[in-house]
Structure 1
Amino acid sequence: MNIKKTIDKIPGGMMLIPLFLGAIVHTFAPDSGKYFGSFTNGLMTGTVPILAVWFFCMGAGINIRATGTVLRKSGTLVLTKIAVAWGVAAIASLFLPEGGIQTGFFAGLSVLALISVMDMTNGGLYASIMQQYGSKEEAGAFVLMSLESGPLVTMLILGSTGLAAFEPHTFVGAILPFLVGFVLGNLDTDLRDMFSKATQTMIPFFGFALGNSIDLKVIVDTGLLGILLGIAVIIITGIPLILADKFIGGGNGTAGLAASSTAGAAVANPMIIANMKPEFLPAAQSATALVAACVIVTSILVPIVTAYYSGYMKKRQGKSANASSVRAA
């Protein structure tokens, strides 16, 4: 049976399929983990330890000796994405209640949800798009996008906008596994090769454990809003990313648009933040459902939009080149 090939045809399938399987179990048999106990319970409820190992392995996979071009492009995209998420959080905090909107069409929308869908790029999706529509250096710019993964950036945005206060040791605890992995991976290439391979292996286990904290009724209730929010993410983050790629990164904007997606790892952030700061618990489950919807929507739309944009820019550059040749003649 070609199970993996079938799952790979679905955008973010290795994260989303186990996540929905876990959500089905949680919705119809919420006490399954407690009933079976032991390792089964650990697998179904171990979101944080699984994410910790995943975060460590991602750090180990980053090579500090990346070229200057790659670092400039990657740094431009990462900082722009974070800056946009920070701006959206600052504005949204003026209008949205701390626990998010609880009723009506916008039920589930919260500052936590908005930050989570906008501050992390799907690095794998970006790399695959740019391998087709960009240069090798642009495709390699995903190396720093791992820095966005995990709750650290979300915590920094919440803290700097005054929406939450985190103790210094909490920030250290959030990034320490990543830093240890980063150091070990750059001290020993064999360790980097070994640990970096595990990043893909951990995804379905992480997705299943995360799904066991989600009630499918919430996903159904936030479905249309999630679709609209996914489109909004592409527009709100895509335009600044295109401009940054053009005027700072030295590209034509294609790489910027390719980075306007929501990372699959972002699905975990609302619940992780809520575990650290219980005041976010009322918004966490709905925020998780919205982020999951955004992952699907952006994974489908970003490659399509980027392909059209890349074709348009190539035609435009071709016309400019022809015009310059005519003037020179």
Structure 2
Amino acid sequence: MKIKKSIEKIPGGMMLVPLFIGALVHTFWAGAGEYFGSFTNGLMTGTVPILAVWFFCMGASIDVRATGTVLRKSGTLVLTKIAVAWVVAMIASSFLPEGGIQTGFFAGLSILALVSAMDMTNGGLYASIMQQYGSKEEAGAFVLMSLESGPLVTMLILGSTGLAVFEPQAFVGAVLPFLVGFLLGNLDLEFREFFGKATHTLIPFFGFALGSTINLGVILQTGLLGILLGVAVIIITGIPLILADKFIGGGNGTAGLAASSTAGAAVANPVIVANMKPEFLPAAQSATALVAACVIVTSILVPILTAYWAKYQNKNGKAKISGSGELPLQEAKA
């Protein structure tokens, strides 16, 4: 049976399919973890420790050596993405309550959802698109995008806008596993290869654990809103990214549009942040559902839009499409 291949045909499938299974279990049998106890309960409730290990392995997989072009391109895209999310948070804080909107069509929309959906790019999706429609240097720009993974950037944005106050040790605790992994991976190549292999393996596990905290009723309630938010992410982050790529990164905007997605790992951020700051707990579940919808919507639309943009640029003599053949559009990593 080609189960893995079938799952990978779904955008972000290795993250979202286990998440949906976990949500099914939680919706129809919320006490399953407690009933079975032991390791089963640990797997269903272990979002934070699983993510801690994944974050460590992610750090170990990143090579500190990179060309100036790669650093310039990736730095431009990463900083632009974060800056846009910060501006959105500042604007949204003037009219959105801390716990999010509770009633009406926009029920579930919160600052936590907006920041989590916009501050992280799907690096694997970006790399696969740029291997086909960009240069090797542009594809390699996903290196710094890995630094966005995890709750640190979300915490920094919420903290810098005054929406939340995090103790200094909370920031250190959020990034320490990543830094330790990064250090070991660059001190010893064998460590990088050893731990780097686990980055993909752990994705289904924290997807399932995260899903085990979600009631599917919330996802149904955020259905159309989730789709609209996904489109909004592409528009709101995509336009500044295209401009930054053209005028700072030295590209033609293709890389910027390819970076306008939501990372699969962003689905975990609302719950992690809410565990650190309980005032976000009322918004966490709806925010998780909305971010999951954004992952799916952006994973489908961003490759299509980028392809049209690249062909338009090529037609006008502003770009040259490179690459060899069609690549799968699912995430290479969360």
1:313 aligns with 2:313: yes
Secondary structure of 2:137's counterpart equals helix
1:159 aligns with 2:159: yes
One-letter code aligned to 2:69: T
1:119 aligns with 2:119: yes
Counterpart in the other structure of 2:47: 47
Counterpart in the other structure of 1:244: 244
Question: What are the Cα deviations for residues 131-170 of structure 1, in whole angstroms up to 9, with x where unaligned?
Answer: 1000001111101111101000000000000000000000
Give the Cα separation in 2 of the matches to 1:39 and 1:14.
21
Give the Cα separation in 2 of the matches to 1:195 and 1:73.
26
Give the Cα separation in 1 of the matches to 2:119 and 2:311.
27
Secondary structure of 1:213's counterpart equals coil
Counterpart in the other structure of 1:294: 294
Counterpart in the other structure of 2:20: 20
Counterpart in the other structure of 1:56: 56
Cα offset, 1:318, TM superposition: 6.0
Give the Cα separation in 2 of the matches to 1:205 and 1:220.
23
Secondary structure of 1:166's counterpart equals coil
Q: Where do 4+ consecutive residues of structure 1 move more than 3 Å?
A: none
Give the Cα separation in 1 of the matches to 2:318 and 2:267.
41
Give the Cα separation in 2 of the matches to 1:137 and 1:3.
34
1:188 aligns with 2:193: no
Cα offset, 1:107, TM superposition: 0.2
**Within 5 A, what are the aligned runs for 1:55-204?**
55-204=55-204
Flag structure 1 segments of 5+ consecutive residues without an equivalent: 320-329
Give the Cα separation in 2 of the matches to 1:56 and 1:89.
28
Secondary structure of 2:64's counterpart equals coil
Give the Cα separation in 1 of the matches to 2:283 and 2:163.
14
Secondary structure of 1:192's counterpart equals helix
Give the Cα separation in 2 of the matches to 1:95 and 1:315.
43
Secondary structure of 1:308's counterpart equals helix
Secondary structure of 1:260's counterpart equals coil
Contact in 1 for aligned 2:252/2:318 (Cα 8 Å) = no
Counterpart in the other structure of 2:326: none
Secondary structure of 2:94's counterpart equals coil
Give the Cα separation in 1 of the matches to 2:277 and 2:206.
21
Contact in 1 for aligned 2:57/2:199 (Cα 8 Å) = yes
Q: How many residues end up aligned between the 2 structures?
A: 319
* RMSD of aligned alpha carbons: 0.8
Give the Cα separation in 1 of the matches to 2:143 and 2:84.
20
Give the share of equivalent positions with the same residue, in percent.
84
Secondary structure of 1:317's counterpart equals coil
Cα offset, 1:316, TM superposition: 1.1
Counterpart in the other structure of 1:327: none
Counterpart in the other structure of 1:323: none
Cα offset, 1:66, TM superposition: 1.0
Cα offset, 1:106, TM superposition: 0.1
TM-score, length basis structure 1: 0.96
Question: What are the Cα deviations for residues 210-245 of structure 1, in whole angstroms up to 9, with x where unaligned?
Answer: 000000000000000000000000000000000000
One-letter code aligned to 2:124: G
Give the Cα separation in 1 of the matches to 2:219 and 2:7.
20
Counterpart in the other structure of 1:217: 217
Give the Cα separation in 2 of the matches to 1:312 and 1:230.
24
Question: What are the Cα deviations for residues 74-128 of structure 1, in whole angstroms up to 9, with x where unaligned?
Answer: 1100000000000000000001011100000000000000000000000010000
Give the Cα separation in 1 of the matches to 2:282 and 2:301.
30
